[in-house]
Chain A
């Protein structure tokens, strides 16, 4: 009886600790995002270039390719730089494909743009974003418009990439930026549009 009660108390304590640490990390993230939002435009640019998004997109993970055989091949090619540079394990791309096979092409977030990603535990090593532009669009079943821009996301947990994602989705909401991205002459244009 005694041991049962001790065990119950321990479980209660452990779950309380987990709850508090989750709440606390959520709070810290909110405070950081809040601070980030309140910065002036100049400060924001500096902040972005200095520390945040910049570190999540590296030039070495940005590429322009002609075409892919199909969407699976496109994902293999788009994930490759992140794999080569140690941001994801080789099984990460299979995780992405598995998710698309299971749930459908939900990674296509807008016309011509996909955000391929898998769960952190499906082989993400470090939080990072890789960008691949295919000159020739890639078809996804159930999608009318072929996809040209693949923004591959690797997230080591479910929160570390939030600012970067917020930033990218904000930029992608500008039609002018999307046009520039889709017609980029070289990797530098892609990088500058997103980093």
Chain B
């Protein structure tokens, strides 16, 4: 079960914040509660700190050590996020 998500970007204050806000929106639209969503920089993030990580495609090279990751082609695209997040959550069903 995914209970925690960390959205990461290079500095941890820009796109990761936007993605975090979008994740919260998408989860609430899906009626999913009880998942904590945080934002962080990639260098502050270790595997195991959350059940799932969400990272922009450009940064995929730095996300290799994370075991469960969603890569976003377009960080602003809520639709893409929704589709990928749903697929990830469905894996646990």
Given A104-B59, A106-B56, A142-B58, answer yes or no on A169-B76 (Cβ-Cβ < 8 Å): yes
Judged by a CB distance under 8 angstroms, whether B13 is at the interface is yes
Question: Which of the segments B4-12, B46-54, B84-92 contacts the partner chain?
Answer: B4-12
Judged by a CB distance under 8 angstroms, whether A155 is at the interface is yes
| B18–A165 CB distance below 8 A | yes
* A115 surroundings in chain B (CB, below 8 A): 14-15, 18
| B12–A119 CB distance below 8 A | yes
Total interface residues on B, using CB and 8 Å?
Answer: 23
| A105–B58 CB distance below 8 A | yes
Judged by a CB distance under 8 angstroms, whether A40 is at the interface is no
Judged by a CB distance under 8 angstroms, whether A118 is at the interface is yes
Taken together as a complex, chains A and B put the C-alpha atoms of A155 and B26 apart, in Å, by: 25
Interface residues of A in 109-155 (CB under 8 A from B): 109-110, 115, 117-120, 122, 142, 153, 155
Residues of B bordering A, CB below 8 Å: 9-15, 17-18, 21-22, 39, 41-42, 56, 58-59, 61-62, 74-76, 78
Residues of A bordering B, CB below 8 Å: 99, 102-107, 109-110, 115, 117-120, 122, 142, 153, 155, 158, 161-162, 165-166, 169, 172-173
